[in-house]
Amino acid sequence: MQNAHLRLGLLEYHRITEKTSARIRVRVSSYIGEDEQAHLISVFGSDSDIGAITAAVHEKAYFTLTFPDGLIKEVTLGEHASCYRSSVILPGRKHPVRHLVASLSSCTRMAARTGQSFLVTVQRSLGVVVNLSWPSRCARVGKAHLRDS
């Protein structure tokens, strides 16, 4: 598909210490959350950026999430977050792009405990997508599909 930049979000992490100040910005391909509680974030970027975001997730840090429509929200994964990383090799590029999917440890099991339901449609060939046409607590940046059955 074309014009992917119009469907991608932006995740920003600002860390200030006594001597240094770092600002890391990565692109967001998928997001599921409720208010300030993020349930799943899929981001990609350079190796150092993804490493920093991974460390921030484990530190329960807050991130500034910018949606494609310009909406800005402070989100965090909180405790019990799991990070899954991989590399995406691009033709003609020396270094692969790093991909990170951070989610609450088995948010499906959490949904069962709290009685919450997440409307997530899955297309096996394209990965996980959340349909925007269904009113839900889920938010999604990127492609949207609905599986018929």
Partner 1 sequence: MPDLAPNACEPYRVPPTSETALSYHGLPYDLLEDLLPHSGAWKQVMPFLAPHEEVATGRPITPLHGGHVGLLCTAGLLNGVFGQGDDRHIARWRSVKHVTTFVEHDEENEIVHHRERWANELRLVYADGRTLKLTETPIRQEEDTDAECAPAARAA
Binding site for partner 1 (CB under 8 A): 1-5, 7-8, 27, 29, 40, 42, 44-45, 84-88, 90, 97, 99-101, 103, 106-109, 111-113, 115, 117-120, 122, 125-128, 133-136, 142-143, 146-149
CA distances (Å), origin 98, targets 44, 121, 132 = 6, 25, 27
| Minimum CB distance to partner 1 smaller for 14 or for 143 | 143
For partner 1, the closer of residues 15 and 99 by Cβ is 99
**Residue 61 or 128 with smaller CB distance to partner 1:** 128
Phi, psi dihedral angles at 141 (to 5 degrees): -115, 135
Tokens of 45: 């970027």
Is residue 120 within 8 Å of residue 138, measured between CB atoms? Answer: yes
